[in-house]
Amino acid sequence: MPKTVEIDPLDAREIQVLETAEDIQARRDQVLTHFQNFKDAAKYRREKLEDSREYQYFKRDADELEIWINEKLQICSQDGKALDEFGRQLLDNQHYSSDLIREKLDLLSKSRVLLLDKISEKRRMLQNTSNYFTFERDCDELKLWAKEKLKMALTKDYMDTLNINLKCQKHQQFLNELAAYQPKMDSVILN
């Protein structure tokens, strides 16, 4: 009785017999190309993850600084008003150190204005940096999308007349996707 081997249909794959040196070389080149593409994709992904990590560090630090600034603003406005009122009362009562009190109130007022200006400048810089990172992320996302679509567009499967309806559907899906991405592309271009 002949020996039979059962093959699990889930594990069954099409096995191609390579008969000539050219077939083996072509398969080797194909495997090497796939491996290089994998390495390039892994490198690109690693770079994007590193960029993302750096952005998260930046965002964490910026958020902490913004919280600190807001706390100082709150203290400055609450304590500053109370101190201004107290100083005005002393001046109204013609305190013996009125000149020193007036100088101190003026100095505090100038310092408060300077602090608010610096805070405003810092907030603007943080917002610009945040906008830059958002722009970079959007550009990377659009480049990746365009690269995927270019790869699909460069295939030669349009010459194969089989499944022409499916190919037309895929093309229509691409046009719909392109229309959906158009506002994002316009946004990146205008920024």
Residue-number span of the structural domain to which 120 is assigned: 21-133
Structural domain contains residue 178: no
Structural domain contains residue 180: no
> What digits encode the pLDDT tens for the residues 66-80?
888 778 777 766 666
> What digits encode the pLDDT tens for the residues 102-135?
888 888 888 888 888 888 898 899 999 988 888 8
Structural domain contains residue 96: yes
Using CB atoms within 10 Å of the CB of residue 112, give its burial: 0 to 12 exposed, 13 to 18 middle, 19+ buried.
Answer: middle
Structural domain contains residue 33: yes
CA distance 137 to 48: 9
Structural domain contains residue 30: yes
Q: Is the whole-model pTM more than 0.85? A: no
Q: In which residue are the tokens 């009785």 written?
A: 1
Question: How many domains are contained in the chain?
Answer: 1
Structural domain contains residue 169: no
Structural domain contains residue 14: no
DSSP-assigned letters across all residues of 111-133 = HHHHHHHHHHHHHHHHHHHHHHH
Structural domain contains residue 101: yes
* C-alpha dihedral sign at 50, 55, 60, 62: positive
